Amino acid sequence: MPALFDPAAAKRPTNVSINSDLLAKARAAGLNLSATLEQALIDQLRKRQRGKWLAENRGAIEAYNDKVERTGVFSDDLRSF
């Protein structure tokens, strides 16, 4: 799977609008806003990338699951539990 983003890319300043109470509480808690936003964006990108992959591969996953349901898996006879 290709990298989600280039962690070595230069940082860029940007403007965002945030609920003022939430911002005040985050600052009071000592949160690093840039790092927190970056991590939240990474999490959201991973979630969307996973959803896209699942949608693109849904047919193959369903076909595999159907096959396993019909024929089992190679290790069925090897289980000791």
Q: What are 48-61's pLDDT values in tens digits?
A: 999 999 999 999 99
Contact 26, 33 (CB under 8 A): yes
- Reported pTM: 0.74
Q: Given CA atoms 34, 39, 40, 44 in this order, what sign does their dihedral have?
A: positive
Q: What are 35-50's pLDDT values in tens digits?
A: 999 999 999 999 999 9
CA distance 5 to 11: 13
Per-residue pLDDT at 21: 98
Q: Binning pLDDT at 50, 70 and 90, where does residue 1 land? A: low
CA distance 76 to 53: 29
CA distance 4 to 39: 12
Nearest to residue 70, comparing CAs of 59, 78, 62? Answer: 62
Per-residue pLDDT at 74: 82
